[in-house]
């Protein structure tokens, strides 16, 4: 223990530490030199020896890096592997046998043209948007419910999901895509898609607080919501962990706490709301008509209610006595209820028969005079006429809306505590990414071009800074999205920490390639489809997956891409593939999310505002693509959960990729898997006939995109015959069981569990 003599020195040390911690971070020129903060530059293409095929400039960077380690790329994969790879990459569905055959024939004649044609064809498919929207929805933590304890449903949240799909299919420029999500309502107030895009801001978890909670609890929840908004904006678009600066200056990156709260100003001016999806003028006319209608409705209701109130006073006793007379109780008890209703015994009786004794408007009808009935009818008819004139409501979406044109006051908080306000701050951005143009300049320009009188235009200023290549964060935004696209084609990004491009990030394996791709991406108008084409037509993408022990000793993690890494399909794509090969996929696009059946034993959540139904049926309407499934945060689909589907509590830039026993158990026991195996077996039996060998061959082509080998035909046929014998002796005499169909179903379910079905080479 320290003696008393040491106490003054200890106190001085504490004071010095507190003073050091309270000193504000100053962003320096040295901080700006981190590779991801620099302006974009297009590096020259490396010169490589023509010992390996160079199909696109991408190959030059990869081959040059491999050559440094005396490595070479693997040879290209065969046509059937490539067909399956390209289909799953771009549309998330397996190719049909006919599609594989057509590609293989073209590939044999001209492999390069075949690949380019198929890539272009699938980029033009509406399924492309469905497949790639899933990647972005992971990043923005999208779900169809609030999460947290109440987990209330969000019936209109799907408009944001549909915006993402539409934008990808239309190849909307990515900088426009970003700006709309931050400020679509301010930038394009007449565009419903741009308005729905702001669902990005409010896609995170949220607690609906009861009226009885204290204001402090509401304020705490409000700041948690704001933190979620700025944190997700940081990781999704900038690849920076801005949330770390809520309580103190960022520990590793040049992000002062002040920058965090200055950016927070943009979101503090509004909140989540049901926003009309209509042009400004149409919304104005609707609100004007609705106000006029309410001005007619309220007097009409009062006109009827006042008359009914008087009628009740006149006839209520008679009507109640009639109710009492109809009760199955003794005459003494009836007399007690009529003559002494305040007595304890009468009150107990009245409570016991409260439902039977409730007097409603219809109970007065027999007691009214002809004149009274006519008056009631006239007033009720007048009310119904007004109600019928109610303006047709505009469609709405869960999105973001400012409270007013006046910004809310935002304070710098000590340790992130909303009770510890220090000084007010104004709108600002990340200092390290702001050059030659101040936040005030962006905001002034946004207000000068404003078409709204109910918005601060601060989010518009943020959106313009976010995509500004010369003075703002545009270069970093381009690098981050290019890296995400690369990740989903190769399994890992050039920067593996896809949500973190800061000082602690995993450095890019091919920095010049990342820089060149980002520069080309921007030069091409921020378009994603040409980027896909550039990557997918390269020889590095077309490589085979064959393992090479000698190469693995030099580069064990395949970071230099000397071969193609086999990739497991995501949980949603696994489900979609089962639907596709079984012939039961419902192709309907867009619209409200669909609640698919979930086993009751998997629904354990309590206290939910909107409990997940336990009696849903497996129908055609529930067999849509998984992106349209209702994602309830507290009740995850067991199959999705087993195969690492994220829970949408926070941004997920890279999914976990586990191999665990529950995955095998899910493929064996999940009711959805079994139902699709039944459908698959029915399809195979119908198209291939009753011969097991023909069934095996067709099932292989449908599910795996290739012909089975001789040994696979032999083992598959033996499996079906063995299961047929077992099924025939297990439940003899049951007319509802067909051993042949059951044996084929068992075989089809086994195919669903094959590595080759779940992994793409």
Q: How many domains does the chain have?
A: 3
Q: Domain ends where: 526, 544, 562?
A: 544
- Which two structure tokens, joined as six digits, stand for 351? 């409570």
Quote the DSSP letter at residue 141.
Answer: T
Give the SS3 label for residue 505.
coil
CA distance 269 to 382: 43
Q: Per the domain annotation, does 181 fall within a domain?
A: no
**Cβ 208 vs Cβ 559: under 8 Å:** no
Q: Domain ends where: 388, 420, 454?
A: 388
- Which two structure tokens, joined as six digits, stand for 641? 């959960």
Q: Domain ends where: 388, 422, 452?
A: 388
Q: Per the domain annotation, does 690 fall within a domain?
A: yes
Q: Per the domain annotation, does 462 fall within a domain?
A: no
Q: Per the domain annotation, does 229 fall within a domain?
A: no
Query: What pLDDT does residue 663 have?
Result: 92
Q: Per the domain annotation, does 321 fall within a domain?
A: yes
Q: Per the domain annotation, does 336 fall within a domain?
A: yes
CA distance 133 to 164: 6
Cα 690 to chain centroid, rounded:
44
Domain that holds residue 336: 282-388
- The position carrying tokens 């195919």 is 751
Task: Give buried/exposed letters for 737-750 (b at 16+ CB in 10 A, else e).
Answer: eebbebbbbbbbbb
Pick from 34, 69, 73: nearest CA to 51: 73
For 410, other C-beta atoms within 10 Å of its C-beta total 22
Pick from 464, 476, 430: nearest CA to 180: 464
Pick from 613, 582, 586: nearest CA to 597: 613
CA distances from 27 to 430, 579, 599 (A): 10, 53, 54
Query: What pLDDT does residue 307 have?
Result: 81
Pick from 599, 756, 571: nearest CA to 669: 599
Q: Per the domain annotation, does 161 fall within a domain?
A: no
Q: What does pLDDT average to in each consecutive run of 10 residues of the chain (761 residues)?
A: 53 47 84 96 90 88 94 94 97 97 96 97 98 98 93 96 98 98 97 98 90 82 94 97 93 95 96 96 93 92 85 73 75 75 76 75 73 85 92 95 95 88 94 96 96 95 98 98 98 96 94 98 98 97 95 95 94 97 97 95 81 93 97 93 92 92 93 96 95 96 95 94 87 68 95 96 89
Length of the chain: 761
Using a cut of 0.95, tell me whether the model's pTM lies above it: no
Q: Per the domain annotation, does 445 fall within a domain?
A: no
Q: State which H helix or E strand residue 439 sits in.
A: helix 439-448
Pick from 652, 656, 655: nearest CA to 141: 652
Quote the DSSP letter at residue 155.
Answer: T
Pick from 551, 533, 550, 553: nearest CA to 542: 533
Cβ-count burial of 481 within 10 angstroms (0-12 exposed, 13-18 middle, 19+ buried)? buried
Pick from 32, 74, 165: nearest CA to 540: 74
């Amino acid at each position: 223990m320290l003696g008393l003599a040491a106490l003054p020195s200890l106190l001085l040390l504490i004071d010095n530490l507190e003073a050091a911690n309270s000193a504000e971070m100053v962003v320096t020129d040295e901080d700006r030199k981190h590779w991801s903060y620099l302006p974009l530059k297009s590096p020259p293409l490396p010169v490589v020896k023509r010992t390996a095929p160079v199909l696109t400039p991408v190959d030059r960077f990869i081959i040059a890096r491999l050559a440094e380690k005396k490595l070479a790329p693997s040879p290209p994969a065969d046509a059937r592997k490539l067909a399956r790879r390209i289909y799953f990459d771009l549309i998330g569905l397996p190719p049909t046998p006919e599609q594989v055959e057509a590609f293989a024939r073209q590939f044999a004649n001209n492999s390069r043209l075949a690949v380019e044609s198929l890539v272009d064809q699938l980029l033009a498919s509406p399924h492309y948007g469905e497949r790639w929207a899933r990647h972005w929805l992971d990043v923005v933590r999208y779900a169809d419910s609030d999460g947290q304890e109440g987990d209330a449903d969000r019936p209109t949240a799907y408009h944001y999901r549909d915006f993402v799909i539409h934008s990808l299919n239309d190849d909307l420029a990515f900088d426009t895509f970003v700006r709309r999500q931050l400020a679509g309502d301010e930038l394009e107030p007449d565009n419903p898609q741009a308005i729905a895009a702001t669902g990005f801001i409010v896609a995170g978890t949220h607690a609906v607080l009861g009226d009885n909670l204290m204001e402090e609890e509401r304020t705490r929840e409000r700041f948690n919501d704001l933190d979620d908004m700025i944190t997700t904006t940081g990781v999704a678009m900038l690849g920076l962990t801005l949330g770390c600066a809520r309580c103190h200056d960022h520990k590793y990156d040049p992000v002062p706490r002040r920058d965090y709260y200055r950016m927070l100003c943009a979101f503090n001016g509004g909140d989540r709301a049901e926003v009309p999806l209509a042009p400004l003028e149409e919304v104005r006319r609707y609100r004007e008509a609705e106000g006029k209608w309410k001005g007619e409705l309220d007097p009409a209701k009062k006109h009827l209610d006042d008359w009914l109130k008087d009628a009740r006073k006149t006839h209520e006793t008679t009507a109640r006595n009639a109710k009492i007379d109809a009760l199955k109780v003794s005459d003494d008890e009836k007399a007690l209820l009529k003559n002494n209703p305040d007595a304890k015994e009468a009150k107990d009786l009245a409570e016991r028969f409260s439902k039977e004794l409730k007097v409603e408007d219809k109970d007065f009808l027999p007691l009214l005079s002809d004149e009274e009935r006519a008056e009631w009818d006239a007033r009720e008819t007048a009310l119904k006429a007004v109600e019928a004139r109610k303006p047709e409501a505009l469609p709405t979406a869960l999105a973001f809306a400012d409270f007013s044109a006046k910004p809310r006051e935002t304070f710098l908080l000590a340790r992130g505590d909303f009770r510890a306000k220090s000084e007010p701050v104004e709108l600002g951005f990340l200092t390290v990414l702001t050059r030659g143009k101040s936040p005030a300049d962006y905001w002034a320009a946004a207000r000068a071009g404003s078409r709204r009188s109910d918005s601060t235009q601060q989010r518009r200023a943020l959106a313009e800074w976010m995509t500004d290549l010369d003075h703002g964060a545009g270069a970093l935004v381009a690098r981050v999205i290019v890296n995400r696209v690369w990740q989903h084609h190769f399994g890992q990004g050039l920067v593996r920490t896809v949500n973190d491009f800061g000082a602690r990030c995993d450095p890019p394996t091919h920095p010049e390639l990342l820089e060149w791709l980002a520069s080309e991406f921007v030069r091409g108008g921020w378009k994603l489809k040409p980027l896909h084409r550039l990557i997918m037509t390269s020889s590095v993408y077309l490589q085979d997956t064959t393992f090479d022990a000698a190469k693995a000793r030099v580069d064990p993690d395949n970071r230099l891409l000397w071969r193609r890494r086999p990739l497991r399909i995501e949980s949603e794509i696994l489900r979609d593939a089962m639907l596709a090969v079984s012939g039961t996929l419902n192709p309907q696009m867009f619209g409200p999310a669909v609640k698919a059946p979930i086993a009751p034993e998997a629904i354990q959540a309590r206290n939910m505002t909107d409990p997940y139904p336990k009696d849903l049926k497996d129908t055609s309407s529930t067999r849509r693509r998984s992106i349209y499934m209702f994602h309830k945060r507290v009740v995850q689909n067991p199959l999705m959960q087993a195969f690492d589907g994220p829970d949408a509590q926070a941004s997920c830039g890279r999914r976990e990729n586990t191999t665990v026993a529950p995955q095998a158990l899910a493929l064996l026991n999940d009711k959805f898997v079994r139902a699709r195996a039944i459908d698959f077996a029915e399809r195979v039996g119908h198209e291939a006939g009753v011969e097991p060998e023909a069934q095996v061959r067709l099932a292989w082509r449908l599910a795996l995109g290739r012909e089975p080998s001789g040994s696979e035909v032999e083992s598959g046929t033996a499996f079906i015959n063995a299961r047929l014998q077992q099924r025939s002796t297990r439940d003899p005499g049951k007319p509802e069981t067909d051993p042949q169909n059951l044996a084929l179903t068992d075989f089809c379910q086994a195919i669903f569990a094959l590595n080759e079905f779940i992994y793409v080479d």
